Amino acid sequence: MKRTLGLAVVLALLFSGAPARSEAGPPPPPQATCTFTNPAYSGKCVQTAEVAQGSTAKQACESILQCLNNVDCIKTYCNATSIRGGWKLESAK
């Protein structure tokens, strides 16, 4: 009788509809939305950047700005533009 009751309790818990424990990892790092302009580029360029712990959105955007203004940078931003120089950071949010 005890085994049947124990099995019934286990089955009741399994099928009770209780929410499953979340296995999600740590939350994703915050993202900055960076807006850049350049007279040689049509429109505004909007990129997202990961904001490192202890950093600010502006600092995250400035790292992209450094690349956009450096002819040696091979990262692709702003629809893979080849324009390297003359970029300005308009906003970092």
- Domain definitions of the chain by residue range: 28-92
Lowest mean pLDDT: which of 17-21, 31-35, 87-91?
17-21
The answer, yes or no, to whether residue 6 has pLDDT greater than 60, is no
Phi first, then psi, for residue 39 (nearest 5°) are -60, -25
User: Residues with Cβ < 8 Å from 77, sequence gap 6 or more?
Assistant: 36, 45, 47, 64, 67, 68
Task: Using pLDDT thresholds of 50, 70 and 90, give the confidence band for residue 93.
Answer: very high
More confident: 73 or 11: 73
Distance CA 26, CA 50 (A): 15
pLDDT in tens, 27-82: 888 999 999 999 999 999 999 999 999 999 999 999 999 999 999 999 999 999 99
The pLDDT of residue 87 is: 98
CA–CA separation, 46 and 80 (whole Å):
12
